[in-house]
Amino acid sequence: MEKDLSNYRKSYEKGELLLENVPENPIELFRNWFIEVDTHFNVGETNAMTISTMGLDGYPKSRVVLLKKYTHEGFIFYTNYNSEKGKAITANPNVCLSFFWPSAERQIIIKGKAEKIAENLSDGYFESRPRGSQLGAIASNQSEVVKDRKELETKLKDLEIKFEGKVIDRPKKWGGFIIKPVELEFWQGRPNRLHDRIRYQLQDDYNWTIERLAP
């Protein structure tokens, strides 16, 4: 079975990204783009991002996670540290994030190094989660093989009974990573496939070099 997709085309005409207009700090540009997309474009989950890691099996793997905070230091998300993703990051902290907002014809690709955030920060975010999500983090041994859906649902019901009326503490296997960027590339679709690509690279003195790349 095959399908020819060579006629899938569109013209990108919703914006421009000029070198003379970008700020010196890429996090400022990220913030501006994020706010614009979140406010003016119907994206759904603006904070959805793809994270790519190098797996323990030697293969790269990408999956979508949700960005929960960004600061001048980097980008924070939460996961099970014992998951396939968590183990891959522990073994090799060099990762890649990407945001794709098709309705805005924009993409951001971020290379960086991941590290665990402070435990009190993970505690604080865990406390803010809905109770069902808290229990779900305990119930799921993420990435491990399960017999069927019923096994998970039974475990969740047992936990609901166990913790009824009680505070649910964050399991140590679950917490946040911060991705501290070393390179960010901002992509704005343009007509005739002459897209705008602006790349920021972190230097040893912690300043950023800014360059335009050919599309």
pLDDT averages per 10-residue partition of the chain, 215 residues: 90 94 98 97 95 98 98 97 97 98 97 98 97 94 88 93 95 97 98 96 97 97
**Considering the domain boundaries, does residue 74 fall inside one?**
yes
Q: What is the CATH number of the domain that holds 72?
A: 2.30.110.10
108 assigned to some structural domain: yes
**Per this entry, what is the length of the chain?**
215
All residues at 6 or more sequence positions from 109 whose CB lies less than 8 Å from its CB, including other chains: 96, 97, 98, 184, 185, 187
> Is 152 a member of any domain?
no
Determine, yes or no, domain membership for 9: no
Q: What is the pLDDT of residue 87?
A: 97
Record the pTM: 0.94
What pLDDT shows up at residue 106?
98
Residue 113 CB-density burial (10 A; 0-12 exposed, 13-18 middle, 19+ buried): middle
Amino acid (one-letter) located at 111? K
Let me know the angle formed at the C-alpha of 92 by 210 and 122, rounded to the nearest 5 degrees.
85
- Smallest CA-to-CA distance from 83 within 172, 212, 9, 174 is with 174
Assigned domain for 146 exists: no
26 located within any domain: yes
Q: What's the rounded Cα separation, in Å, for the pair 132 and 120?
A: 21
Place of tokens 């971020």: 110
**Domain with 36 in it:** 19-130+174-213
Q: Does some domain include residue 148?
A: no
Question: Is residue 154 a part of any domain in this protein?
Answer: no
| CB 79, CB 177: distance < 8 Å | yes
> Is 101 within 8 Å of 47 (Cβ atoms)?
no
Q: Which residues are catalytically annotated?
A: 193
Q: How many domains does the chain have?
A: 1
